Amino acid sequence: MIFNYMMRIFDPINIAMLMMTGALLLAFVRLVRGPSLPDRVVALDLIASVTVGLTATYAVVTNHVDLLHIAVMLALIAFLGTVAFAIFVGKGEKV
């Protein structure tokens, strides 16, 4: 019973989710440490893409297709956020 539970960690989906969680943590370290604002924006961009991947994987795990809509919308909004940050970093210059 508990052996089966522990063997589930070798399921490819669980391995992938663990890898993405590790990526999330590493990107968060850069988000906290980043010396300049663009570094933090890049880290946020990576966090958004990893979250898109995690949500899509979770849609597979739970068989909820609706989560896939959330993933695509999150990618869209992350792009808008990055563009807004780029204009903000460039002090409103036309970039």
Partner 1 sequence: MSDVIGKVLLISGASFMLIAAIGVLRMPDLMMRMHAVTKAGALGTSLVLFSVAINYRELAVASLALAGVAFIILTAPVAAHMIARAAYWVGVPLWEDTIMDDLRDQYDPHLSGSDNASRKNAREERDTQSGA
Binding stretches for partner 1 (CB under 8 A): 12-13, 15-17, 19-20, 22-27, 29-30, 36, 38-39, 41-43, 45-46, 49-50, 52-53, 56-57, 59-60, 65, 68-69, 71-72, 75-76, 79, 82-83, 85-87, 89-91, 93, 95
Q: Pick between residue 1 and residue 79 the one whose CB is nearest to partner 1.
A: 79
Cβ 25 to partner 1 shortest distance, Å: 8
For the chain, the three-class secondary structure string (H helix, E strand, C coil) is: CHHHHHHHHHCHHHHHHHHHHHHHHHHHHHHHHCCCHHHHHHHHHHHHHHHHHHHHHHHHHHCCCHHHHHHHHHHHHHHHHHHHHHHHHCCCCCC
Q: Which is nearer to partner 1, 9 or 89 (CB)?
A: 89
Residue 6 or 95 with smaller CB distance to partner 1: 95
Q: Which of 63, 68, 29 is nearest to 52 (CA)?
A: 68
Tokens found for residue 68: 């896939």
Min CB(7)–partner 1 separation in Å: 16
